[in-house]
Structure 1
Amino acid sequence: MRKLFENITVSNEKLVRTIVSVYIIGVLGFLIPYTHDLFVNLTVLNLFFSLTMLFIATWADLNWRHWGIFILVYLLGYAIEVVGVNTGWPFGAYTYGNILGIKLFETPLFIGVNWLLLVLATNLMARQKITNPWLVPVVAATMMLIFDIALEPFAIYTGMWTWEAVGVPFDNYLAWWVIAFFMHVLLIPIKITRGYIVATTVFLAQLIFFIIINLKNYLI
């Protein structure tokens, strides 16, 4: 199995083409009224696909230590969302819809996958350009904050979650950055030398996807 994934990771171009193709289809699916609802319901599948692409791209570098930290990031992401949904801290008062699948404690189990996906993608991007390991969490968390600013209107529009307040609370963005920073600190001890191009493609594809759909909703 490892040899299979090592062979796949050699061809980053194939992974990039696959990711771009899937997100182009996703944009069209959202924009076409007849397929819109179907593609909204495919959100979980899209997240799983994107994380799988990252795992394939980095597979040759991964060992038990990496997987342990990845599981920890997932659990921390899910746990903080459970606290957030049920107490209103630290993000503000919000509730999840049904788009992200099965819930436990009013929180989709899949939300931890979203945290892991974003942490891994932005960490790979940041560490590729930055040599100071303690500066990586700052830059990567900032990229995640930018991502969240684009994500929020899309998430509200699709019913992924709704805020009790009229707008997205500032506390949400502050908490998002702090939690993201802490998660990136957890990744400092591990070494990953592959996957930068694929991570960049996933991150930008999602970001552009949200911007396009947000603009469509704003203009129409």
Structure 2
Amino acid sequence: MKQLVTVERFCLIGHIVTMVFGLAGLVLVVPHPELIMNLGETGQTVFQWSMAGGGVVNIVLGTIAVAIYAYRKLGLWHWLTFMLPAVCLSLGSELLGTSTGFPFGDYSYLNGLGYKIGGLVPFTIPLSWFYMGLVSYLIACAGLKTRQNPTLVRYVGAIALAAMLFTSWDFALEPAMSQTMVPFWYWEHPGAFFGTPYGNYAGWFGTSSLFIGVAALLWRKTPILLERSQLGFPLTVYLSNFGYAAGLSLAAGYWIPVSLGVIVGVIPALTLWQMAKPADVKESTTETPASMKPEIPVTQVKVAVK
């Protein structure tokens, strides 16, 4: 298990480092070609490689880190019963979207995110749906305390909140990935919301609600319980990915979508983290409270003294 922790940390650090370098490259280097020319032959080769494969490496590292975390903290069953529906349903939704325009709109993926399944959807896309969807759901479940208070309202609320956190990521991500100097996909018919159709966000919310709901249904007999101290990893993944997208969008002047994402995504995520059960709060046990324990009659014994 110690080796798994080491690999998990390595992949998480690598995931964040690739985002930092990617952000610096896209924001500082790409707009200034003279900087690229001054890098030298080796530097230019490294920069070209990073532009071509950096996105793939970033998403693969994030996937591995979250998968190991899920296996360690939740177990094999919980990990696979979230990952498989997330990957399969999001891939199906993306293939449908790139083929028919439903449920996101008419769009196509460009190069930069790896091999395209069916020539339409990069294999990394459903992986990103998995790891961002899982961390969003873990944060929502911990904040609403779905294990301590397993009611239908709390379960439905956790699914809706997780889908909201996940969709909020796209408020910052969409302009960065489709409207900046180095786009990763493009819209056939740009929408009214800073180039993005409003229906795209409904598609994100609906698709994420679907696969999160499937996982919640499969987890109903073995609900999860994460304390606040165990949410550092999911929160780090969520905030770092949002920060990367926000940095790209803000550099291009898209502060309104980013602000909306902060309001309906970042702030709720931090609030749910604060609401989660602290580590020093013990769960109720099966022991009978002292006030409910039956009293045992004690017979008084008188001792005669001569």
Category of TM-score, reference length = shorter chain: 0.7 to 0.9
Q: 2:142 aligns with which of 128, 131, 138?
A: 128
Any idea what the Cα deviations from partners look like across 1:44-91, whole Å, max 9, x if unmatched? Answer: 111111122222323222214531431121011111111110111111
Corresponding residue for 1:57? 69
Structure 1's unaligned 5+ residue stretches are none
Q: 1:87 aligns with which of 91, 100, 114?
A: 100
Structure 2's unaligned 5+ residue stretches are 30-35, 37-43, 146-153, 255-306
- Aligned equivalents of 2:18, 2:225: Cα separation in 1: 25
Conserved 8 A contact 1:121-1:200: yes
1:66/1:104 CA distance change after superposition, 3 Å: same
Higher share of residues assigned helix:
1
Higher RCO (CA 8 Å, separation ≥ 6 residues): 1
**For 2:111, what is the secondary structure of its paired residue?**
coil
Between the two proteins, what is the percent identity of the paired residues?
22
Q: Which amino acid aligns with 2:26?
A: F
CA RMSD of aligned residues (A): 2.6
- Aligned equivalents of 2:161, 2:78: Cα separation in 1: 23
Name the TM-score, length of structure 1 as normaliser. Answer: 0.85
- What pairs with 1:161-180 in structure 2 (closer than 5 Å)? 161-166=185-190, 167-180=195-208
Any idea what the Cα deviations from partners look like across 1:177-203, whole Å, max 9, x if unmatched? Answer: 111111111221434445521111111
The Cα shift of 1:137 comes to 0.7
Corresponding residue for 1:32? 28
1:134/1:87 CA distance change after superposition, 3 Å: same
Q: Which amino acid aligns with 1:54?
A: V
**For 1:32, what is the secondary structure of its paired residue?**
helix
- Aligned equivalents of 1:206, 1:123: Cα separation in 2: 15
Q: Does 1:183 align with 2:197?
A: no
Name the TM-score, length of structure 2 as normaliser. Answer: 0.63
Conserved 8 A contact 2:70-2:79: no
Q: Which amino acid aligns with 1:101?
A: G
- What pairs with 1:1-220 in structure 2 (closer than 5 Å)? 2=1, 4-5=3-4, 7-8=5-6, 20-33=16-29, 34=36, 38-41=49-52, 42-60=54-72, 61-64=74-77, 66-105=79-118, 106-131=120-145, 132-156=154-178, 157=180, 158-166=182-190, 167-188=195-216, 189-190=218-219, 191-193=223-225, 196-218=231-253
**For 1:162, what is the secondary structure of its paired residue?**
strand
Conserved 8 A contact 1:58-1:192: no
Aligned positions, number: 215
1:111/1:21 CA distance change after superposition, 3 Å: closer
Any idea what the Cα deviations from partners look like across 1:91-129, whole Å, max 9, x if unmatched? Answer: 110011111111122222221111111211101111110
- Aligned equivalents of 1:18, 1:94: Cα separation in 2: 30
